[in-house]
Amino acid sequence: MPITNVKGIELYYEVHGTGEPLLLIMGLAHNSLSWKKSLPALTEHFKVIIFDNRGTGRSSKPDTPYSIEMMAEEAKAVLDAAGVDSAHVYGISMGGMIAQRLALMYPDRIKSLILGCTTSGGIKQAQPEPDVIMTLLSGASIPTTPLEAAWASVPILYSQYFIENHRDSIQEHIQTMIEIPTPPHGFMQQLQACLGHDTYDELEKITKPTLIIHGDEDRLIPVENGKMLAERIGCSELYLISGAGHLYVTEAQVDSDKKVIDFIKKYPIEMGNNKKFL
Residue 272 belongs to some domain of the structure: no
Residue 13 belongs to some domain of the structure: yes
Cα distance between residue 260 and residue 237, in whole Å:
11
pTM: predicted TM-score of the whole model, two decimal places: 0.94
Predicted confidence band of residue 138 (pLDDT cuts 50, 70, 90): confident
Cα distance between residue 202 and residue 14, in whole Å:
31
Which residue, among 210, 213, 211, has the nearest Cα to 242 in the 3D structure? 213
Cα distance between residue 260 and residue 248, in whole Å:
13
Which residue, among 132, 154, 163, has the nearest Cα to 243 in the 3D structure? 163
- Residue 255's domain comprises 3-265
Q: How many domains does the chain have?
A: 1
Q: For 208-218, how does the pLDDT look when each residue is reduced to its tens digit (9 = 90+)?
A: 999 999 999 99
Long-range contacts of 268-271 (CB under 8 A, 24+ apart): 268/112, 268/209, 268/235, 270/235, 271/207, 271/208, 271/209, 271/235
Number of H helices, E strands in the chain: 12, 8
**Is residue 210 a contact partner of residue 233, using CB atoms and an 8 Å limit?**
yes
Q: Return the CATH number at 19.
A: 3.40.50.1820
Mean pLDDT within 31-60: 97
